[in-house]
Amino acid sequence: MTAETWREYGPTPLTGILRSALDAFAERGYDATSIRDVAAGAGLSVPGVYHHYASKQQILVSLMQVVLKDLLARCQDALASVSAAGTVAGAGPRERFDALAECLIRFHMFRRAESFVASTELRSLDADNRASCVALRDELQRLIAQAIREGCATGVFATPYPDDAARAVAMLCVGIATWYREDGPLAPEEVVRRQLMLARALPNAV
């Protein structure tokens, strides 16, 4: 993926085991999914799954790290793309915010199952695994908050609560994964346009 391709989506590059786990976790949840379920979906025996992963927990954390790293890489590429198109000093906070918000919107539209599992199954991770995934999520949150704080400092945004606005933007985008459907009444670009308009309002809420 490059700074020019962060808007493009094909299948998530997952192994057969992780793809099977994603489908099962999205449909039934982590607790209700067995290793036998994952093995059946991947066309493997249970020992075949254990050859690659020591436990169901390891499968979950591996899946979540792939998803979160994909999103973080896309956000970084989106920022790089607006910086390349801006001045030598880089794009301003409004342009960086727009790039990040659009990236989050598109990801939660086109990686619905991945986004849903990454959001809902953090509760199923043990303490160490949760910490590693939360660190990735926090880095994403930091990028949004930084753009809003800089916008507030320069008069681009008006909210007195930049960190709260950043969390609200993230929640708006995460929620898209629960309702967006590719066969819905709106074209994908229209969904992006509307959700970006809503996201832009949050850093100016006073």
The reply to whether 35 falls in a domain is: no
The pLDDT value given to residue 87: 52
If one counts the domains in the chain, the total is: 1
What domain range includes position 189?
A: 58-204
Q: Is the pLDDT of residue 1 over 90?
A: no
Whether residue 196 is predicted with pLDDT greater than 90 in this model: the reply is yes
Q: Is the residue at 8 inside a domain? A: no
CB 167 within 8 A of CB 69: no
Task: Dump pLDDT digits (tens) for 154-167.
Answer: 999 999 999 999 99
Tell me the pLDDT tens digit for each residue of 82-132. 877 655 455 799 999 999 999 999 999 999 999 999 999 999 999 999 999
27 in any annotated domain = no
Give the model confidence (pLDDT) of 13-67 as tens digits.
899 999 999 999 999 999 999 999 999 999 999 999 999 999 999 999 999 999 9
Would 31 be classed as within a structural domain? no
Tell me, what's the pLDDT at 91? 75
Rounded Cα gap, residues 140 and 149, in angstroms: 15
pTM: 0.92
Residue 88 confidence (pLDDT): 43
Q: Residue 101 sits in a domain of what CATH number?
A: 1.10.357.10
As a three-state string, the secondary structure of the chain is CCCCCCCCCCCCCCCHHHHHHHHHHHHHCCCCCCHHHHHHHHCCCHHHHHHHCCCHHHHHHHHHHHHHHHHHHHHHHHHHHHHHHCECCECCHHHHHHHHHHHHHHHHHHCHHHHHHHHHHHHHCCHHHHHHHHHHHHHHHHHHHHHHHHHHHCCCCCCCCHHHHHHHHHHHHHHHHHHCCCCCCCCHHHHHHHHHHHHHHHHHCC
**Domain presence at residue 196:** yes
Q: How confident is the model at residue 90, as a pLDDT?
A: 58
Q: Is residue 43 part of a domain?
A: no
Q: What is the mean pLDDT of residues 186-190?
A: 95
Does any domain span residue 42?
no
Q: Say if 26 falls within a structural domain.
A: no
CA–CA distance, 4 with 67 (Å, rounded to integer)? 20
